[in-house]
Structure 1
C-alpha cells in the first residue's frame, strides 16, 4: 500500500456533544436557558439532524427538505441551508441562534481528534505513506487539523463541497488518489460509513471501517491501519 485515505468526522475527529454544542452557542451569544430546557432542546436538535458531524440522521425530515438534505455536501450553500433548515424544526427563543449554531460546529474547538489519530498519521508519514482526507462536508476543515497539530501529517484533501460531488461517488476518491499520485489499487480508505466510504471500493481501494463513537469510547480503532499498509 502506498497511501491511506481517511474520512474526517467519526473517523479522525469527533464533534462535541449536542449539549456542549448548544451550551457553547448560548454562551457565545450571551443567552441562557434553564438546565432542563437546555438538555431537552439539545436532544431535539440532535434528533432533527441539525447537529452536523454527529452522524445522526434526521427523524421526520419535512418533505420540502428531502432533496436539499440528499445533496447537502455538494456545496457550502446547500450544506448551510440543509442543517439550518433541519434546526428550524426545533423552536428556539432566539431565531438568530440557528445561524450561530451552524457557525459553532465549524470552530476547531468543537472537534476532538480520536486518541490514536496523531500516532497513526505521524507513523504513516514516517513510513513514507501518502495521507489524504476525503470528506463529505460543506466547509474548510483544514483549520481543524491545524488547530490540533495534525495538518503536517496530511498530504491532500478532497472535500465534497470543493468538487461538487459527494461520497460514495468514486470521483471524490479519485481526486484524492490523483493528488497523492497513488494507484487506487494500492490505497486503503478508512471511514465510519459503509455506504459513503465504501464507494472507494469501486476504484479498487481496500476499505477499512471504524465505529463512529465518542472519543472516550474508541481509544485505538485506527491502529490496525498501520498493519494494513504493511
Structure 2
C-alpha cells in the first residue's frame, strides 16, 4: 500500500458548514435594509431551504425546468452559480428584489460558515507531520477569504476550485489538477469529503477516499480525526 503523503479536503460539509437558513435570511435582511415581519421569517427561510436556494445547504426539492441545465454545470462558472442560486431563491416571494442578491452575497462571507470542531486541529497535525494539504471544492466563488478568516489557510499547500478550471468533481481532470498542485502522484493522495459520488470520484484517478458524514457541526465533533490514523 502506498504511503499517504497528501490529503485533499472538500470544503462544504467537510471542513466547514453553512449557517442555518433562518440566520442566513436574517443576515441578508439586515444587510439589505429590508423589513420582513418576524412571524414570516421562519416560514420564508424554510421555503428557501426547500427550494435549495442556500448554497451549501439542502439540494432543491424540485429544480425548475428553466434552471435544470444550469444546475448541472453550476460549479463550472461563477456567473452560472449566482444565476442558479438567485433563480432558486426567486421561487420564494420576498419583500424586495434586492434581497435575492443579498442572500447570495451573504453565503460568501466568513460569518456564514462555521468550521467543524476538529478541522483546525486535524489540519495543524497533518501540517506538523509534513503532509501536503489541499482544499478541492465544487464551487462558484473564491472561498480562500473564508478559510483565511477562520485561520485554516495557513495549513494549505493548494486550493483548487472548480469554477477556476471549468471542471467539476467527479471529473478526474480536476483531481489531477489538485494532485499536481500538491506535487504528488494520485496514489499518494487521500481525498476526504461528504459526497460519495463527487468526492469519491477521486478513486478513478488512483487516490484513496475517506467519506465523512455531512452532519451539523454540533453533531460531528470528531469526524475528521480518522484522517490522522490513515496518514503517517
Question: When the two structures are superposed, what TM-score results if normalisation uses the length of structure 2?
Answer: 0.97
Give the secondary-structure state (helix, strand or coil) at the position aligned to 1:189: strand
Q: Deviations over 1:113-146 (max 9, x none)?
A: 1000000001000000000100000000000111
The alpha carbon displacement at 1:36 in A equals 2.5
Q: Deviations over 1:32-70 (max 9, x none)?
A: 32222100000000110100011x111221111100111
RMSD: 0.8
Where does the alignment leave 5 or more consecutive residues of structure 2 unmatched? none
Q: Matched residue pairs, number?
A: 229
- What are the residue-to-residue correspondences of 1:66-145 with 2, within 5 Å? 66-145=68-147
Give 4+ residue runs of structure 1 displaced > 3 Å after superposition.
Answer: none
Give the secondary-structure state (helix, strand or coil) at the position aligned to 2:30: helix
The reply to whether residue 23 of structure 1 matches residue 26 of structure 2 is: yes
Give the secondary-structure state (helix, strand or coil) at the position aligned to 2:95: coil
Preserved CA contact (<8 Å) 2:35 2:95? no
Q: Deviations over 1:181-225 (max 9, x none)?
A: 111011110000011101100011110011111111110000010
The alpha carbon displacement at 1:22 in A equals 0.2
User: Which of 186, 189, 196 is the matching residue for 1:187?
Assistant: 189
The alpha carbon displacement at 1:31 in A equals 2.2
CA distance in 1, matches of 2:37, 2:138: 35
Q: Deviations over 1:156-183 (max 9, x none)?
A: 0110000000001011111110001111
Give the secondary-structure state (helix, strand or coil) at the position aligned to 1:132: strand
Preserved CA contact (<8 Å) 2:34 2:95? no
Question: When the two structures are superposed, what TM-score results if normalisation uses the length of structure 1?
Answer: 0.98
Preserved CA contact (<8 Å) 2:160 2:177? yes
Where does the alignment leave 5 or more consecutive residues of structure 1 unmatched? none
The alpha carbon displacement at 1:93 in A equals 1.3
CA distance in 2, matches of 1:191, 1:32: 38
User: Which of 47, 53, 56 is the matching residue for 1:53?
Assistant: 56
Give the secondary-structure state (helix, strand or coil) at the position aligned to 2:190: strand
CA distance in 1, matches of 2:138, 2:162: 5
CA distance in 2, matches of 1:186, 1:28: 45
CA distance in 1, matches of 2:90, 2:34: 18
- What are the residue-to-residue correspondences of 1:149-164 with 2, within 5 Å? 149-164=151-166
Instruction: Please name the residue that 1:221 is paired with.
Output: 223
